[in-house]
Structure 1
Amino acid sequence: MANQRKSIRKKKLGNYPHAMVVFSITLALFVIGVFGLLLIHAHTLSENVKESIEMQVYLDRDLSEVQLARMQKSFAAKEYVAYKADTAQVRFVSKDEAAKLLLNETNEDFLTLLGENPLRDAYVLRIDADHAGTPELKSIKLDLQDTDGVYEVQYVESLIQSINSNLQKISIILLGFAAILVLVVIILINNTIKLALYSQRFLIRSMQLVGATSYFIQRPFLNRATWQGIVSGLIASALLFALMQYAYHEITELQLLRNDEQTYLLMGALVVIGCVIGFLSSYRSVRKYLRMSLDELY
């Protein structure tokens, strides 16, 4: 009696060993999730590097306090100025403060030698990451130079060009790897489900022979594959979250690159990817066996 029940369970439509399928899909989604985390942290690092770009705006001499305040307000209103905690990243550096900094760096008392302070008051502007490209920075420099009271605008152009060029190359390489990895994951999940459904090919044919419609045959397989994709996505997301928390605990510097919003979007994407690929792979495989002749099934 027990053997008979066991046999019936084995022959139940769509009832193939799902633990192996869930494990394989989870592993594939976890790998793509890890690479997705790498992309998120690389993007955040790129944004931080770009937002560290500063422009020194040197001012005319003998400007009044009112003129200085008006200029600071004008700079803060520029769309290309970075903001942090709703505060414009505009910093005033007086010529006396600049002289002290230079004296500490060089250990040479140039004030005594020259008899006066040749430096100028300046505003240091931190540029928003979206405007940190080489062409945009040149336009920003020209815009700042047209401001009344500005003597000269400087930034380390060669260094910034090198940074932008390297960041662009790294982004292209990472996106290329991401595209290849996604393709490999899709193929892996598709093949896993095809192998799982291979054992069901004769049952599918038997259901056809007794008059079952294609929809009736496909429905349990599609439901099972969809739930497998969802469960696999949730497990992969949980593993990814655990890995992320462990990495943040062990390497505290990674907290600076943390982006919870994009990370949660990535986890949601893993669930969607698992669900969609599972459904489509199962749909294609079942339709393939439905169209095969009996000789082709062997």
Structure 2
Amino acid sequence: MAQFGKASSKRSKPSYIYSIVGVALVLFIMGILGWIFLNFKSMGNSFKEDIRISAYLKTENKDTINLIQQYLSAQPYAKNVEYINKDAAKNIWSKDGSSDDWAKILDHNPLPESIDFYAKADYVNKDSLDKIMTNIMAAYGNNIDELQYPRMLVNNLNERASRLGLIFLVVAVILIAIVIVSIDNTIRLAMFSNRFLIKTMQMVGATRGFIARPMNIRAVINGLISAGIAILLLFILIQWAEGQFPQLGTIRDTRLTIILFGGMILTGVGISLFSTNRSVIKYLKMSLDDLY
């Protein structure tokens, strides 16, 4: 009996190695998917927060301008609030198109002064921006000539983001299902080599809990090792990608990356434990003849 148990244990070791590597590779693919999703969202937010909103001023009273600027700075939707005088407006105009033509004809700067700001990503949609503009005009409409933002760009950006988000969601659901099934099959294959050991322990009177406990512990350890390997590979990939494309580093959210790593650990351990326990119960219910 002892020799049979030792032989079964020896046969199971390679299977555990293969299962650890297999689960690690599947978790690595899952991690890449999650990382792409995080970057997709961050890049979308970065594009949204680059949209400039301009409040063109009627007044030249510095106290009133300061009040409007302070009002906008205190709003939860605004960031990088800046007063643009005529000289600054001319410099901005010159970046987009030369101002030399009208500068030669006119002896004054016709560009209006403005207070410019950028809306936070959550507010960059038509309904929210229209509401923001209504509130600003209600508060300082007598001192503001016009509020402008690139409406067409905002509409196109949100439409494309919604479309790409839906496509990504469908792909993510399919890939997550593949990940779960792949890990489950890998663990069940590893447990297949232990089926005789499980049945032998049952035949000598061991309880289900006693049989399952060491295998569940092994499943947790294997899941942690697999997740550790996958996280290491993903970390190396992220570092390489950010070295090749520095802009990825600027939009990286460390907190979300840590959450992604934690999700990989929970997935690896959770599915390994679930599949191991399910396999133990399956082999306990089978007759000895069915194990062959």
TM-score under structure 1 normalisation? 0.89
Letter of the aligned partner of 1:220 in structure 2? P
Are 1:97 and 2:88 counterparts?
yes
**1:234-283: per-residue Cα shift (whole Å, max 9, x none)?**
11111111111122223323222222221122112111111111000101
Match of 1:214 among 197, 205, 208: 208
Pair 1:201–1:54, CA change in 2 (3 A) = same
Match of 1:227 among 221, 228, 243: 221
> 5+ unaligned residues in a row in structure 2: which ranges?
none
Distance 1:53 1:183, change over 3 A: same
Displacement of 1:208 after TM fit? 1.6
The one-letter code of the counterpart of 1:155 is: Y
The superposition leaves residues 64-105 of structure 1 with CA deviations (integer Å, 9 ceiling, x where unpaired) of 1111111111111111102xxxxxx11111234324543662
After superposition, the Cα gap between the structure-2 partners of 1:145 and 1:200, relative to the gap in structure 1 and judged at 3 Å, is same
Q: Is the CA contact (8 Å cut-off) linking 2:52 and 2:116 kept in structure 1? A: yes
The answer to whether residue 48 in structure 2 is matched with residue 50 in structure 1 is yes
Partner of 1:189: 183
CA RMSD between the two structures? 2.3
1:106 aligns with 2:98: yes
CA change 1:281–1:101 in 2 (3 A) is closer
Q: Is the 8 A contact 1:16 1:197 kept in 2?
A: no
Does residue 166 of structure 1 match 2:157? no
- Whether 1:133 aligns to 2:125 is yes
**2:187–2:275 Cα contact (<8 Å) kept:** yes
| 1:12/1:102 CA distance change after superposition, 3 Å | closer
Distance 2:244 2:86 in 1: 43
Query: Larger deviation: 252-261 or 68-77?
Result: 252-261
2:237 maps to what in 1? 243
Q: Does residue 1:253 correspond to 2:247, yes or no?
A: yes
Q: 2:57–2:113: 8 Å Cα contact kept in structure 1?
A: yes
Structure 1 position 81 matched with structure 2 position 75: no
CA distance in 2, matches of 1:199, 1:111: 85
Unaligned runs of 5+ in 1: 83-88
Partner of 2:29: 31
1:208-232 deviation digits (Å, cap 9, x = unpaired): 2211111111112111111100111
Q: Report the TM-score when normalising by structure 2.
A: 0.91
Q: CA deviation at 1:296?
A: 2.9
The residue type paired with residue 129 of structure 2 is: L
Shift of 1:175: 2.2
Identical columns (%)? 32
- Corresponding residue to 1:279 among 273, 276, 283: 273
1:146 aligns with 2:138: yes
Q: State the partner residue of 2:261.
A: 267
- The question of whether the paired residues in 2 share the 8 Å contact of 1:14 and 1:220 is answered with no
How many residues are treated as equivalent by the alignment? 288
Per-residue deviation, 1:113: 3.9
The whole-number CA distance in structure 1 between the counterparts of 2:183 and 2:137 is 57
Cα deviation, residue 21, structure 1: 0.8
Counterpart in the other structure of 2:149: 155
